[in-house]
Amino acid sequence: MENLDVMVLRTLRDWRAAGKRALMATVVRTWGSSPRPVGSIMALCEDGSVVGSVSGGCIEDDLIYRFTQAYAAKEPGHKIPSGPPGFVKYGITADEAHRFGLPCGGTLELLLEYDPDPAGLAQLVQALESGQLMQRTVRLADGAARLAPAATPTGLEAGDQEVVNTFGPEYRMLLIGAGQLTEYLATMALFSGFAVTVCDPREEYRGAWNVAGATVLSDMPDDVVAAFKPDRRTCVVALTHDPKLDDLALLEAIKTDAFYVGAIGSRRNNEARHQRMIEHFEQTPASLARLRGPIGIYIGSKTPPEIAVSVMAEILAVKNNVKLPRDMGVGEAKNGLAEQP
């Protein structure tokens, strides 16, 4: 499954290019609990089609009704308003929060852009598809939007004159080894919005690969990592249990900006890996601090699908800047690890 923002923007671009009226809704502020984070987007077409999400579904239903039925009843022949962007709040009262399925005390504010410029959308989608990080600034006075490359991912900024949202290329996951565990982890990563690449020079493993949507490479893993150029939206996970394949790839990965680098294995195997790297590759405990292992959140996992769940959960936690017990100095044996053989 592709990156959700890119999917929304691509669909909105196509609607507008076909001459259809449409709006884009962006979560610009939240108070209390919120189903979707600030910066989340959705698009609504005049025919009632919707893509993306700003809540658990009830707010989307209200927007569909508001702009395909209620507004059309007041303005016959028109379903999407014209003019500058506007703001709308949901969940201001307890009754509204309950009606729209918001958590207790939750309130969110949306920016509604009417008929975004199709040329600008096409330019933005093209940049995102080529792997660029882009900043989109919407002028509130008239809805005009300008685009600029962004150096780093930043959160949405909403001011009195404009709203600035940053869109980035999809997150990437590079998996070393094409075994059964990799198939489960790749499947979860794909439906979580990651672009997945699997590297395994062993033909017998590649031949049995059975997950559509992942790119499969046969080069040596360390060469693949170097060519991959991991950035802050990339994670690298070694899953072969074979030091000849895992170690060099991991050493290459920890030199990059990858937000997550880890390897499967037991605590004993993890300690042996660190010792090999210190003795044979001139590493130090400090240089290996970014190498996570054994990987996974402890859930008592034993089977490949359960281990994949624990690993994917840890990757998502790190991606979302959630502090895990193991990262806060709590004893690993009690809190941190998925024990794999």
Sheet with 86-90: list strands edge to edge: 50-52, 41-45, 22-31, 107-114, 86-90
Q: How confident is the model at residue 310 (pLDDT cuts 50, 70, 90)?
A: very high
Average pLDDT, stretch 239-266? Answer: 94
pLDDT at 129: 82
Which residues have CB under 8 Å from 66's CB, separation 6+? none
Q: How confident is the model at residue 75 (pLDDT cuts 50, 70, 90)?
A: low
Q: Pick the residue with more confidence: 72 or 6?
A: 6
**What is the residue whose two structure tokens read 């001459």?**
19
> Is the pLDDT score of 178 beyond 60?
yes
Highest mean pLDDT among 31-45, 96-110, 156-170: 156-170
By percentage, how much of the chain surpasses pLDDT 90? 65
pLDDT at 171: 87
pLDDT at 104: 52
What is the average pLDDT value for the chain, to the nearest integer?
87
List pLDDT tens digits, range 183-202. Answer: 999 999 998 889 899 999 99
Closest CA to 23 of 75, 84, 69: 84
Q: Is 290 exposed, middle or buried (0-12, 13-18, 19+ CB in 10 A)?
A: middle
> Is the pLDDT score of 90 beyond 50?
yes
Q: How confident is the model at residue 214 (pLDDT cuts 50, 70, 90)?
A: very high
- Residue 103 near residue 4 (C-beta atoms within 8 A): no
> Is the pLDDT score of 244 beyond 70?
yes
Distance, C-alpha 328 to centroid of its chain? 24
172-335 fold: Rossmann fold (3.40.50)
> Is the pLDDT score of 327 beyond 50?
yes
By percentage, how much of the chain surpasses pLDDT 70? 87
- Domain limits of the chain? 4-167, 172-335
